[in-house]
Chains A and B, each alone.
Chain A
Amino acid sequence: MQTLVTGIGAITSIGNSVSENLQSLLDCHSGIAPMQILQTVHEVPAGEIKLTNSQLAERAGLPTDGVYSRTMLLGLIAAREAMSDAGIDPALMRVGLISATSVGGMDLSEKHFAQIREGKGRARYMLEHDCGASTEHIANRLGIRQFTTTVSTACSSSANAIMLADRLLRHHLLDAVVVGGVDPLCRFTINGFSSLMILDKERCRPFDASRAGLNLGEGAGYLVLQRDDTPAAHTYCQLKGYANANDAHHQTATSEQGTGPCLAMSRALMKAEMKPDDIDYINVHGTGTFNNDQSEGNALCHVFGDKVPRFSSTKVYTGHTLGACGGIEAVFCVLSLINDVIFPTFNFSHQMENSPLIPETKVVKGAHLHNVMSNAFGFGGNVSSIILGL
């Protein structure tokens, strides 16, 4: 049995649809810029989608005067795009939704919390706070009545959602799954990463000696996965392998040698029954923090030896979209495979100390891609790798 990718959907700061994202990726157009929509005192650039909530609601086909979490709006737009791309109908087959988010409806709660904590304002906005709330809204609006759940493991959330989706398909509990993740920019995470002192005031520089932190971003990315014995409009690629591991080193930092990342990558290869040299390209987690890139870089060298595949971090385009990055970057990996192209870390200039690694810095067309890996690492030592292939 094979698990096929039959639909993709994405909204990020570089595009409101998959095709807009693809164009920006090919043009090396970054969405990282000063924030305009989100009100915060922090003067840091971010991968912000320059649409207000009511503009997003309009795109999502919802009344523009309604109150929605941005999480739900972004998630709905991308999940719906993936679903209509695959052409699946929940009335005709068992379709589930597995969504991932790290902040849930935080953008709504933080706007109203000053009043709510005083016992004023609209208490019901707090009902949108939990991570499952946006997922339920998305499922309802897409007509999905089957298995619906939400994964929240910080920045690896979406990658972990994909793993559960595959298992549900393999065991015939579902015929198709809309799976991915979403996170909006909000003051909570801007202040959180600011308190950790890892926000770069410039555009992030993943795997670069001069890297000084990450840029936050927002967006959503979803895939439609189907078993190969179900009718599909078209097939982009297969989900070939995956693994999650726990670095078990520290609450926020990854171990210097990259114990967890090594385990996730090598176990994903085992699950895919592949050797390291079967991987043609890696979309690395590559946030641009000192710790992540050092740790991930060491893990790459450990797993792949002196034959580290071509790799790049696309966070230089979108910023770090937290719980959504595994979904968005999985969509980018699908785009890489079907267009046979690598999207570069186009602003790279200097190799990291004691590291031989250099990411792709220019768009590579005709890259001969058969199998690609995508990494996503999160707080709590949570590390995940997935492998997609033609």
Chain B
Amino acid sequence: MDEQLVNNLKQQIIDELNLEEVKPEDIDASAPLFGDGGLGLDSIDALELIILVEKHYGLKITDPKKGKEIFQSVNTMAEYIKANQK
């Protein structure tokens, strides 16, 4: 796993979603982003993450349902970005 990418993503998530008092090191890259146990994000955050991926990595996700797979964890986001970025 590209650690730099994972760390960047953590910081971008904190900034874009305005996660108060969360530091990058608090986020477990393999923990679920949505629902209980992780950051507890919801469907609006999923849309914000789609914007984040487009804004910072130039990747357009057109089907919000696909977002669910991509945004399971920071690691899955990183994998998606690595696999799709030219």
Contacts and interface: CB of A to CB of B under 8 A. Distances in A.
Interface of A: 195-197, 250-253
Contacts of B83: none
A251 B47 CA distance: 14
A195 B54 CA distance: 13
Question: Which of A196, A197, A251, A253 has most B Cβ within 10 Å?
Answer: A197
B44 A252 contact: yes
Given A197-B64, A251-B44, A252-B44, 5 more contacts: A195-B47, A195-B51, A197-B50, A250-B43, A253-B43
Contacts of B50: 197
Contacts, number: 12
A252 B47 CA distance: 12
7 contacts: A195-B47, A195-B51, A196-B47, A197-B50, A250-B42, A250-B43, A251-B44
Per DSSP, chain B at the interface is helix
A250 B51 CA distance: 21
Contacts of A196: 47
Contacts of A251: 44
A253 B47 CA distance: 13
B67 to A, nearest CB: 9
Contacts of B44: 251-252
A251 B43 CA distance: 10
A339 B49 CA distance: 50
A357 B43 CA distance: 27
| 4 closest Cβ pairs, A-B complex | A197-B64, A197-B47, A253-B43, A196-B47
Contacts of A252: 43-44
A197 B43 CA distance: 11
Interface string B15-41: 000000000000000000000000000
Contacts of A195: 47, 51
Nearest to A291: B43
Contacts of B51: 195
Contacts of B47: 195-197
A49 to B, nearest CB: 29
